[in-house]
Chain A
Amino acid sequence: MIIPLQVRDFAGGLRAMASFLIQSEKPHIFGLIESIVDTGSPTTILGMSDIKRMRVSQLQLRDIESRKEPHAYGGGRLKTKILRGAKLKFGEYFDCIMDVEIPVQEITELNTQPTIIGVDFMEKNKLKLIFDPAKKEAYFETSE
């Protein structure tokens, strides 16, 4: 199985990017997200601007489990919550249910940070990333 990705010149260089629909019951989320595939990130984490677009309030996040340890980010620390059992749908190609992280700190610099698809997504779904920047081709492929 192949999940096609877009290769786009974004924020200083070529990136493998994926658009998907995300759904969650609590808090209620139903929206569309453009993400960067980042094999340097162990976790999938939603961008602050995407959280705001989904109209998820800090009040709604209050009852969600916090990640025990903050992430190191830009010389500082970023606290996150864990959104359990979110459904991610990649068009007609693929969908999965997995945990994703949500930043909870309102830091101005973080507002522009995009959503990242991390290695946890690839590991859970047994996918490998094929990324050929020279040909501007990228896709996920089942590794089984």
Chain B
Amino acid sequence: MINQELELLENFERDSKWFHDNIEKLREQSFTGKFVAVSNGKTIASDENIDMVIKTIEKEGKNPAHIFIEFVYPKGFTLLL
């Protein structure tokens, strides 16, 4: 893996960790039931519709394929795979 790819992955993993560490705060801030985009440890977009989140990210000149986006499930909700 080349350095640029490794850097992208490390940033992505850092934002993933931030999301999971702060999931309760996100719920308190009314993000439940929404997709949340995280970049550099802060939320940069959110919406119930992921297409809207992607559009917002693109408007900011960022590539959504490189941005961590995850759905905030309600507390107590269990996703069975």
Show the binding face of A for B, using Cβ within 8 Å. 6, 8-13, 19-21, 29-32, 34, 36, 38, 40-41, 49, 52-55, 89, 91-92, 95, 111-112, 114, 116
Question: In whole angstroms, how far apart are the Cα atoms of A49 and B78 in the complex?
Answer: 19
Contact B50–A21 (Cβ < 8 Å): no
B22 to chain A, nearest CB (A): 12
Nearest residue (CB) in A for B77 is A12
Q: Which of B5, B13, B64, B68 contacts A55 (CB 8 A)?
A: B64
Known contacts A10-B20, A12-B76, A32-B9: A54-B65 contact under CB 8 Å: yes
**B20–A53 CB distance below 8 A:** no
Residues from chain B with a CB closer than 8 A to the CB of A91 are 1, 6, 9-10
> How near does chain B come to A10, taking the closest CB pair, in angstroms?
7
Q: How long is the Cα–Cα vector from A8 to B20 in the complex, in angstroms?
A: 7
Among A40, A49, A52, the residue within 8 A (CB) of B81 is A40
- Count of chain B residues with Cβ under 8 Å from any Cβ of A? 31
Report the separation of the CA atoms of residues A112 and B6 in the bound assembly, to the nearest whole angstrom. Answer: 26
Report the bound CA distance from A9 to B5 in whole Å. 27
Distance, CA A108 to CA B66, complexed state (A): 23
Q: How far is the CA of A19 from the CA of B20 in the complex (A)?
A: 13
A100 nearest CB across to chain B (Å): 15
Residue of A nearest to B35 (CB): A49
> Chain A: which residue is nearest B20 at the CB level?
A8
Q: Which of B42-60 contact A (CB under 8 A)?
A: 50-51, 54
CB < 8 Å neighbour of B9 from A21, A29, A40: A21
Nearest residue (CB) in B for A116 is B81
